[in-house]
Chains A and B, each alone.
Chain A
């Protein structure tokens, strides 16, 4: 569309205005994280700090066992991202490229499961976690102990499933020509080898989309760690942030510093992989 100079000016004006309002809370949080104790608590209305207190970040890190929280979140996120990518893309590949009895019904049942809110099934999931046999002090009937609760298993295993991932992978693998499979079969390759040597190496866009999607949702997850864990050694970053606020909540400059640190990996990833990020968001609407 061609715009006149005035129209362009107006468009910019509205854009800048709404953007300013939208981004202002984040800017305030950022600058508050650099303000000195006396300065921020005076309620000073200046956006920028008078002196820049980078040491707020070091101070925030000293309060609370952040290395443990970071380790927990990193382990859970990385294992879930890699594991779910493998499981979901392999299933999507199977649904897309192999005809077998039950292909459609099984796929549709899983897709329907995607609609079920996590909060609806949290109670039975909790009870299932608690009664996994031979874990967490349980006997072989699954009672007596805590099962998978308060362990990495509880945070990792359920997240490996993903109807959305299977759906996206199936869509992706449907695009390849039939001749590709036939050529590979002449070579005597099995399905598993076909997947790992031919399809997976070409799955860059799929891996990026699903990987980012999963990374963000697991890194930011507050609900499941809140329900499934209780010991300090199992705390994730999001839980740690919530606890930090409970203990040092009035020191907002430090709270803002901690919030920023917890979000930093996601923010950096977002700016580096912006294109893939936007694509993964758009991909979520394809099914609509």
Chain B
């Protein structure tokens, strides 16, 4: 084969990926950074306004609300679904009979689309006919309009977020537990360690990489929560359940304030970047400690 031509072949092979990467990731990042410093309604050309959008963001109470809600969603979903996932993974690792079926059903909420999940819970939470209020009535408690009450709208969405996240955490923890050598547990048993002690002193420390991974991915994903909120509450009532991405979509594609929405997007990018850097730092520290 012609040697000169041969040199170009690798670049031709990755060409489609590179074009897609440049067009849909690299260029958009540069563009969104630029837009965040402009006024842009899609009718005019973008007009440079310096830090005006960020200053406005700093004083925007609805956006504060969105950041606070997103943080609450993060705290409210990540830890509980990881804890429940860890408990389930440990039980599944016992290799009792019928476990494959359990595993499948427990993971099911994780494979259904967020819209279908939202529909299911709209029914469960329905104030007049829904099973949750029906059950509460049965045991003599007062139900409420969970999703349309500012006091409970966000908590209800968080509950659903936990439910969705359990399966993924369970599978990742399970893969971690199954990679732990059986002999470690046997040795501990010979020394007379109880099940709980083995869990604390063998399982938990050896699951550290999975725990870090899950915590970081779940954190980043929670920053992006949108579908559930959009379908369940639309961010309402009175912005009680609005989130950062709900605000981005509202400002850009409903109000056409592209510059202002880009500033919010840059905020989200920065938050994600910080978490990723922390992951990298903690991850490499762990690696060097071992």
With both chains docked as a complex, state the minimum distance between the C-beta of B57 and any C-beta of chain A, in angstroms: 15
Verify if B49 is at the interface (C-beta below 8 Å from A): no
Verify if B245 is at the interface (C-beta below 8 Å from A): yes
Contact with B along A64-100 (1 / 0, CB 8 A): 0000000000000000000000011011011100101
A119: chain B residues at CB < 8 Å are 224, 226, 245, 248-249, 265, 268
Main secondary structure of the interface of A (DSSP, over half): helix
Verify if B138 is at the interface (C-beta below 8 Å from A): yes
The answer to whether B249 and A222 have CB atoms under 8 Å apart is no
Verify if B269 is at the interface (C-beta below 8 Å from A): yes
B121: chain A residues at CB < 8 Å are 25
Cβ 8 A contact of A121, one of B29, B124, B231: B29
Number of interface residues of A (CB under 8 A): 93
Verify if A8 is at the interface (C-beta below 8 Å from B): yes
Q: Which residues of chain A from 227 to 279 have a CB within 8 Å of any chain B CB?
A: 227, 238, 241-242, 245, 249, 252, 255-256, 258-260, 262-263, 266-267, 270-271, 274, 277-278
Cβ 8 A contact of A19, one of B28, B102, B135, B189: B102
Contact with B along A110-154 (1 / 0, CB 8 A): 100101111111111111100000000000000000000000000
B1, B130, B171: most-surrounded residue (chain A CB, <10 A):
B171
Cβ 8 A contact of A242, one of B115, B123, B133: B115
Distance between Cα atoms of A41 and B131 in the complex (Å): 11
Number of interface residues of B (CB under 8 A): 101
Verify if A28 is at the interface (C-beta below 8 Å from B): yes
The answer to whether A117 and B195 have CB atoms under 8 Å apart is no
CB within 8 Å of B: which residues of A?
1, 3, 7-8, 11-12, 14-15, 18-19, 22-23, 25-26, 28-29, 32, 40-43, 45, 87-88, 90-91, 93-95, 98, 100, 103, 106, 109-110, 113, 115-128, 157-158, 160-161, 163, 166, 188, 190-192, 195, 216, 219-220, 222-223, 226-227, 238, 241-242, 245, 249, 252, 255-256, 258-260, 262-263, 266-267, 270-271, 274, 277-278, 281-282, 284-285, 288
CB within 8 Å of A: which residues of B?
1, 7, 9-11, 13-14, 16-18, 20-21, 23-29, 31-32, 35, 42, 84, 87-88, 91-92, 94, 96, 100, 102-116, 119-124, 126, 128-131, 133-135, 138, 163, 166, 168, 171-172, 175, 182, 185, 189, 195, 209-210, 212-214, 216-217, 220, 223-224, 226-227, 230-231, 245, 248-249, 252-253, 258, 261-262, 265-266, 268-269, 272-273, 276, 283
Among all A-B residue pairs, the 4 with the closest Cβ atoms: A288-B213, A161-B20, A220-B113, A124-B28
